Chain A
Amino acid sequence: NAGVMQNPRHLVRRRGQEARLRCSPMKGHSHVYWYRQLPEEGLKFMVYLQKENIIDESGMPKERFSAEFPKEGPSILRIQQVVRGDSAAYFCASSPETFYEQYFGPGTRLTVT
């Protein structure tokens, strides 16, 4: 059973470009969570999605950030007009049900130059 998959593993974008981060949950998992890890900090929750629904986006910045989890295909975290402060590791996690433990992917390390 493959784990949570994220791609790309490393992404470099210039200021003002768009970044698209992809996450495929573990087989059988329908709950997806996105977290951001800034240097020297722990993980901060961004958004929780189920298929075709955003359940909780209380941790998402109000502007430039969006997320989706379509009926078919991976979950996408999209960052428009990236700025240097967006440089971080972005982790996706999945779980089979809401209150089970979350299983994390290897992360996407975004660098904004």
Chain B
Amino acid sequence: AQSVAQPEDQVNVAEGNPLTVKCTYSVSGNPYLFWYVQYPNRGLQFLLKYITGDNLVKGSYGFEAEFNKSQTSFHLKKPSALVSDSALYFCAVRANHSGYALNFGKGTSLLVTP
């Protein structure tokens, strides 16, 4: 079975400070990992993905994520947060050899204060 855990329901950070949104996963085989962002009453927007290759993945809007196989983690990071980054962030995983569904975490609400 594949699963994703986002241990923090909410992350608060001041504008200009670095931010981290945590994600750990469980999957048999090599994972495909994704981050999405959801603004209120909107659909999910794709931020970035890890399939293979470099462990540090760069995505949209200045976000990046680091794949750590030994810790089974894929934390989302940004060096300098913006107020407009405030939204709901979802981590998702799919095993590369089975199924088509993305398994999503419960989401982490990010609040960036001025």
Contact = CB atoms under 8 A, between A and B. Distances in A.
B107 interface: yes
A42 B90 contact: yes
A59 B101 contact: yes
A45 B103 contact: yes
B3 to A, nearest CB: 11
For chain A, give the interface size range: 20 to 34
Interface in B39-60: 41-46, 49, 51
Contacts of A40: 106
Interface string A1-25: 0001010000000000000000000
Interface in B16-43: 32, 34, 36, 41-43
Nearest to B47: A101
B34 A48 contact: no
Interface centre among A4, A33, A45 (most CB of B within 10 A): A45
A72 interface: no
A105 B99 contact: no
Given A48-B100, A56-B100, A106 B42 contact: yes
A65 interface: no
Contacts, number: 56
Contacts of A43: 44, 90, 102, 104
A56 B99 contact: yes
A105 B104 contact: no
Contact of B96 (A6, A42, A99): A99
A98 interface: yes
B108 to A, nearest CB: 10
Contacts of B46: 101-104
Contacts of A41: 106
28 contacts: A4-B43, A6-B43, A31-B100, A33-B101, A33-B102, A40-B106, A42-B105, A42-B106, A43-B102, A44-B104, A45-B102, A56-B99, A56-B101, A58-B99, A59-B101, A91-B43, A91-B44, A93-B44, A99-B51, A102-B46, A103-B46, A104-B36, A104-B43, A104-B44, A104-B45, A105-B43, A106-B42, A106-B43
